[in-house]
A and B are shown apart, each in its own frame.
Chain A
Amino acid sequence: MSEAIRRFGPAAIGVAVALYIFDKIEMDPFMSVVIIVLGLAAWLLADTKYSKWIGVAILVWAIVLPLFHDSGQGFIDDANIMLAYVVMALGLNIVVGFAGLLDLGYVAFFAFGAFCMGWFGSSFFAGVNDGEGIHIFVSDLVSQQAGIHANFLVVVIAAVIITAMAGALIGLPTLRLRGDYIAIVTLAFGEIIGRVAINGDSIGLGGGETLTAGRQGITPVDKIDLPFVDVFQSLNLRPWYWTALAMVLIVLFVNFRLRDSRLGRAWIALREDEVAAASMGVPLVRTKLMAYATGAAFGGISGAFLASYLNTVNADQFQFSFSIFVLAMVILGGLGSIWGVTVGGLVLAFIINTFIPDIARSWPRDVGLDFDLTEISFAIFGFLLVIMMILRPEGLIPERRRQIELHEGIGGGEGTDLYEARV
């Protein structure tokens, strides 16, 4: 009996919590039941021959989800931002999870991506081409406006190139460093770029243009404009959702393919033991720079999407706490584990965007206390981080390689065995 409780107790609690939350975010009852069944199936049938089909079923569920919902606001709005964060978490996972390079300045790439969208997809540089503007593959809506207007796909390609280069550049000074010294250099770059974004309105580029719009933000930003599809509207969020989902799928695919590639194996070798990897012929410099560049590129894609979706590029978004937030997704999900990081990203983004401000805020009033939970949202977030980390230090879904190391103590562990053996 107790064995049954231990095995299925967490699942029962999980189902109850999920039902409560789905009810609160007004998810369609049918869709809630389906995802709970699928979640249970995934939990029970993990690593069997059925797990692939469950993955497909969850994917189909995710694709049809917006059809069951109001297209204007609410749940879909939160879902879009959650998906964009997952893209960033998966990008950071390459740097921190695969290659083992602790990056505390990931916000820099979010900034670069967002500014690519701001520079090349808005009327910000109003003076270019004598006020006529430059237009690259854009629809009629913006083709009369001043400034540089490029198609979203062009901007994304530019963002990938620029952020990858920025990532490699930021990686350069860290090549001689190891461990937490890398963390501090990346942190420093993140802060420098954040500062430049804030003070960029006083950096002139000639012709009356400035580098950024500082705290006022670049706004409005062009909506996504894909070939064969109508220009995205801010009132119909479904196309945004499908774009974000497609981004996540592409990033997931790239993550899986990279992890099992020659490069990915080199990253993991580097993470496990740098000296051993180097003596086995892994080119350290190139491998590390590739990790930075690839991780950064995903941040850039997500940044460009978020800039267009949120319709602003505001320098206040690019704070150190954002880097920490994305890092928390990666570590909480399970360092190096692709599914873990996906889940970690969804969970944390959900907690911060929906759970605390929308769902939990009225709890104290419901039990008759006179305060609002949003006043202590920071503390709740911090508390949840502490609790989740203490309960599952290896992350929600640990990478199998790491899990084996932890439980069988290969090279790791604090060697209590040795001590106890003597007692």
Chain B
Amino acid sequence: MEAASVPAPRRAASDVAREWLSKYGLIAVLLILPVVYGLQDLSDEGDLSRLGNNIVDGLSNGAIWALVALGYTLVYGIIELINFAHGEVFMIGSFVAVAVWSSTIWGPNGLTPQTATLGLIAGLFVTLIVSMIASSSLNVMIERVGYRPLRNAPKLAPLITAVGFSFILQNVGLLWLGGSQEGVTDLIRSQKEVTNIAGVSISRGDILSIGATIPLVFLLTTFIAKSRMGKAMRATAQDREAAKLMGINVDTTISFTFLLGGLMAGAAGLIYALYQTTIWYFQGFTAGLVAFTAAVMGGIGNLRGAVLGGLIIGCIQQISDNRIGSEWTPAVVFSYLVLIMVFRPQGLLGEETREAG
């Protein structure tokens, strides 16, 4: 054999190129938009404040997507189901939050921007708790009714029940608030500027969105890493059979996963309502698609990946909204997704698994 006797065969140029592509191609792809528009800003306006503003807004939006994406990734990680109803759970979370804060227990008009700061904070905290509980119990109920009976059924059957629940919940939202975008009280005056760093304005909404997401994500990851239930969840995700043999109650564990996903979706619902100040029945569908994309982009089943994916998608959306035009934003986001799948099929932080070999 000729080739075997050569000590170190020269690698073909195509191999080198391929290796380089898989290593750095993805980073290059992700940087296309910001770099191009950054250069354009530098030449047109002399500073990067416009891009900076895009990125700040993008991160705040992305934080909401990240919370929703966590629900997708948790559920997918444990039962390999794309939970199409999750976006609608988030939507219901928003609706519940608005209903709670406008209820008359807080005063004749519910909570208003004029409410004393301390009262406002307390009220919003209660709202947060209620919407988280509502979303999570809804999510657990959907699992109980729609997915658990199909645990041993063909893999695609629960996908269809998920779609069914998503339709039902959309209809609930439609009957609840009607078919148009509904403005809600801008409780925290989310557009009000807090500081301005070199032309990049940071508003109250940005602070709220990032400031609420970080502790939630931190709590969730710590819980899954440290607690007994978290360990059970990881075990079930790895091998349901073996987990069962080790005495883990698989059904409870799966329910608990849905509970955690619902909690995150409920919190995201409240933050969304405060930040965007409009809600409508279709928001769950769009958010679901975006958040699912974020989860896949980060590497589905990977919590940090979902958060990273959410933040990246938020930024892409803002840049595209601001520069290309919001009618093209979904196409831009999904083109990014396809490119990422081409360069790194397992997602940004995902490990090479059987599914994405």
Contact = CB atoms under 8 A, between A and B. Distances in A.
Interface residues of B, number: 53
Contact of B331 (A174, A195, A418): A195
Given A331-B159, A378-B174, A390 B150 contact: yes
Interface stretch (B107-115, B123-131, B288-296): B288-296
Contacts of A384: 164
A375 B175 CA distance: 8
B106 interface: no
A384 B76 CA distance: 24
B168 interface: yes
Nearest to B241: A415
Interface in B330-348: 330-331, 334-335, 337-338, 341-342, 345
Interface in A259-273: none
Interface in A364-423: 375-379, 381-386, 389-390, 393-395, 402, 406, 412-416, 418-419
A179 B296 CA distance: 12
A416 B240 CA distance: 11
Given A173-B342, A191-B334, A402-B154, A328 B170 contact: no
B192 interface: no
Interface in B113-168: 145-146, 149-154, 156-161, 163-168
Contact of A390 (B146, B240, B356): B146
B225 interface: no
SS of B interface (majority): helix
A189 interface: yes
Interface in A149-196: 173-174, 176-181, 183-185, 187-189, 191-192, 195-196
Interface in B230-255: 240-241, 244-245
Given A179-B355, A181-B356, A376-B171, A189 B154 contact: no
Interface residues of A, number: 54
A198 interface: yes
A243 interface: no
> For A384, A393, A395, A416, which residue has the most chain B Cβ atoms within 10 angstroms?
A393
A331 B157 contact: yes
11 contacts: A102-B156, A180-B76, A181-B300, A181-B356, A184-B293, A188-B337, A376-B175, A386-B145, A393-B150, A416-B152, A419-B244
Given A174-B341, A379-B168, A415-B241, 7 more contacts: A173-B341, A180-B300, A184-B293, A187-B289, A188-B335, A324-B84, A393-B149
Sorted nearest first, the 9 A-B pairs with minimum C-beta distance are: A382-B167, A393-B153, A385-B164, A379-B171, A188-B334, A195-B331, A386-B164, A382-B168, A378-B171
